[in-house]
Amino acid sequence: MTGGRKRKLHLSKIYSFTCGKASFKGDHSQIGGPGFSRVVFCNEPNFFDAGIRNYGDNYVRTTKYTLATFLPKSLFEQFRRVANFYFLMTGILSFTELAPYSAISTIIPLCFVIGLTMVKEGVEDWQRKKQDIEVNNRKVKVHRGNGVFDYTEWRNLRVGDIVKVEKDDFFPADLLLLSSSYEDAICYVETMNLDGETNLKLKQALEVPSFLDEDSSFQDFKAIVKCENPNANLYSFVGSMEFEEQQYPLTPQQLLLRDSKLRNTDYIYGAVIFTGHDTKVIQNSTDPPSKRSRVEKKMDQIIYLLFGIVSLMATVGSIFFGIATKDDLENGRMKRWYLKPDDSTVFFDPKRAPIAAILHFLTALMLYSFFIPISLYVSIEIVKVLQSYFINHDIHMYYEETDKPAHARTSNLNEELGQVDTILSDKTGTLTCNSMEFIKCSVAGTAYGEGVTEVERAMARRKGSPLAQVIMNGGNHVENIIDTKSPPIKGFNFKDERIMNGNWVSEPRSDVIQKFLRLLAICHTAIPEVDEDKHKVSYEAESPDEAAFVIAARELGFEFFKRTQTSITLHELDPVSGNKVDRVYKLMNVLEFNSSRKRMSVIVRNEEGQLLLLCKGADSVMFERLAKTGREFEEETRDHVNEYADAGLRTLILAYRDLNEEEYKIFNEKFNEAKNSVSADRETLIDEVAETIERDMILVGATAVEDKLQNGVPDCIDKLAQAGIKIWVLTGDKMETAINIGYACSLLRQGMKQIIINLETPEIKALEKVGEKPAITKASRESVLHQITEGKAQLTASSGSSEAFALIIDGKSLAYALEDDMKKMFLELAIGCASVICCRSSPKQKALVTRLVKTETWEDNISDW
């Protein structure tokens, strides 16, 4: 054991340190507390000796090769190809006396082919290296001490550094948000490089360090962060911060991930928690794989076949040669005297015929080597390089909005682009623009909004009325000429004079409309930005849905214009005086939205001291949480929501509840206890507490927003269908919504037969009313199996005809269709259809469907070879 190692063990046994007012003593192994093993001294990166806390640096490498590994790794890649390995063997043999030709004639072509490919690999990896250099040399402001921030390269950052990131810059490492330019220490983050989402995510620092809003305020700042070890989970973070002798729990809400971008916020201050290859984005990445296309792998299969033929030819020839050579000696005399047996070598020696046959076999293999097309590899490599050049310079693949051309990072897989047979797509942000517009609503059982959606236009065209469109007004269908005017306000395409311009005060249920608009203006996490010169308010929201809601509330008389950590202020239209009045609502709690809850709530106290729970969420979770006395408009609202779904709109149910002080006190204690928990199941605890308060609500109404299709989507899908490419859409929409959107984007076409799989049979509904879960499960499984079998029978009956089929399956049925004993049949049915729509599918189901298609179709292709 070295002296350095002994010193490390000695120091790790016991230590004592003080950071500002925070101090800690104890066993080093327990410093992180239960489940925590990473300790970060904020603003003191040099506190621990490097031998004890040797965290990695912030340098990141994404290249496949290094200078030391390029030659061995690249040569290994080249000789993975069967042809190259074959010619390497024949090249080695060509240096022996067995060779019927000179070694140069084999070695030069082999070196040319391998050298050309290695040069191409090296050039492509150098391009990656240049990108790494650019990223590692980016600049960021870091605290140098005494409140002074100075620029340094990303690669120089260390765990514990305090950095200042400015608007539209990327985060250089995984940071703990300490404060921002906003009073509430919030910031907006774009995570497109991490998860592909273009929506901005809201992050908020702990309240205690949020006073750090200037460079000089960090002069004496000290804190200790104890958290989990580096891991690949982008959506979890468990830890605590010790500041001024107090412990504060940390959540993913305070973690800013490397490669995400700061948006709509002037600056933030953050402490470096994970650096370099410890960051979550790098933990999620893998080493650059050795990518080989299907064509190349199939070529290997062909070469195995050719090599088998060559070996067979050489074997047969060598056997005959060995027999003839052995028979050449008779009674000590050569039959063929002209071969001069006295001068015969081992290659023709009748006394050693078996050895001569083996050597003849090796010679024959070299002679027949022209059967193996080594020049084909050269041709393919040249074609790949040219194709990459054309892709990079294709003006039709240039995206003008973001000024981004196509970029082929590797040329190994170009030919895969021409072998796509199935496309799996989400709907939001892929087929649609993810730009929401408030277009309709249902309040107190009355439908409002006269706008027309793209889906309704498509429905009108299917019915043979291309110049007319259906408009829903109060639940009735009327005809109207298409209004091609663009909406004057982004996010707001609502038209209905009954409630616009303050006219809602004259409606029969104006009290409910007031609650509806107030709920829209309060129940969200958006941030207002007030333009003093233009006297206008704009909003920054986590999702375009939320932005559309607050814009709608503003346009209809309830303007949200100020937010702090503890209050929300509105300009409300007073129905009595007809004037705008300012009302302040004290923000007590925010129960955030997530995919399992499918709803969001806020608890506020109004100026009269009344406690209110305001909630919005999906109909699947909201209707069941209504009180018996809060279902006055349930039937009408359900009808309107179904109509909105048919029109391709995204709907949410709005409800509220009055809270009493004692009930809220009990809830708040449990909620704060769950929030302050440092266990890994903190989110589950919070959800369980929220479940106790989000009940017995009173229905107010429903909203409907439209997410328009991307430009050219119908034409693109039509062209893909003509090319024989199958398209699968995996969406969380209702079946009716998904079908109508399928028609709007040409995924479903006239004359296409639909195979619909769902569990809406009378038998299953009857069992659901009884509530016998085992019986429901058994009946559901049998029903799905029967429907899949019938669907396959329809495909078989129509084989040979030009009839196209579309498969539509809901999430409940999909859960059974993806079981081990049924998924093969489901896939066979789906592959036989031109279009597949999986509706009401969860994120997990989308992943399972994608995995099923990739693995099963890949195995089928392998077997076909």
Catalytic residues: 426
* Residue pair 591/610 in contact by the 8 Å Cβ criterion: no
Is 166 annotated as contributing to ligand binding?
Answer: no
* Residue pair 459/654 in contact by the 8 Å Cβ criterion: no
**β-strand pairing of 835-839 with 468-473:** unpaired
Nearest to 676 by CA among 207, 179, 198, 92: 207
At 32 the three-state DSSP class reads coil
The length of the chain in residues reads 865
Is 619 annotated as contributing to ligand binding?
Answer: no
* Residue pair 269/176 in contact by the 8 Å Cβ criterion: no
Nearest to 520 by CA among 652, 640, 658, 697: 652
The single-letter DSSP state of residue 575 is: T
Is 769 annotated as contributing to ligand binding?
Answer: no
Nearest to 180 by CA among 207, 150, 160, 144: 207
The single-letter DSSP state of residue 504 is: G
Is 657 annotated as contributing to ligand binding?
Answer: no
| Helices 82-93, 374-392: inter-axial angle, 10-degree rounding | 140
Task: Write down the residue that tokens 């603003």 correspond to.
Answer: 43
From start to end of 318-411, where are the E strands?
A: 329-330, 333-334
Nearest to 689 by CA among 569, 603, 817: 603
* Sign (positive or negative) of CA dihedral 775, 778, 781, 783: negative
Nearest to 376 by CA among 787, 708, 642, 81: 81
Is 731 annotated as contributing to ligand binding?
Answer: yes
Is 586 annotated as contributing to ligand binding?
Answer: no
| Residue 494, both tokens | 């609502």
Residues whose CB falls within 8 Å of the CB of residue 283, separated by 6 or more in sequence, listed in order: 230, 231, 232, 277
In one-letter notation, the amino acid at residue 234 is L
Q: Read off φ and ψ for residue 499, nearest 5 degrees.
A: -125, -5
Nearest to 745 by CA among 708, 776, 774, 771: 708
Distance CA 95, CA 104 (A): 9
Is 77 annotated as contributing to ligand binding?
Answer: no
Please report, for the chain, how many H helices and E strands are present, in that order. 23, 35
At 471 the three-state DSSP class reads strand
Is 719 annotated as contributing to ligand binding?
Answer: no
Distance CA 688, CA 671 (A): 9
> Please, is 30 exposed, middle or buried when counting C-beta atoms within 10 Å of its C-beta (0-12, 13-18, 19+)?
exposed
In one-letter notation, the amino acid at residue 380 is I
Residues whose CB falls within 8 Å of the CB of residue 214, separated by 6 or more in sequence, listed in order: 147
Task: Write down the residue that tokens 């959540």 correspond to.
Answer: 251
- Binding-site entries for ATP: 426-428, 546, 593, 616, 650, 731-733, 840, 846
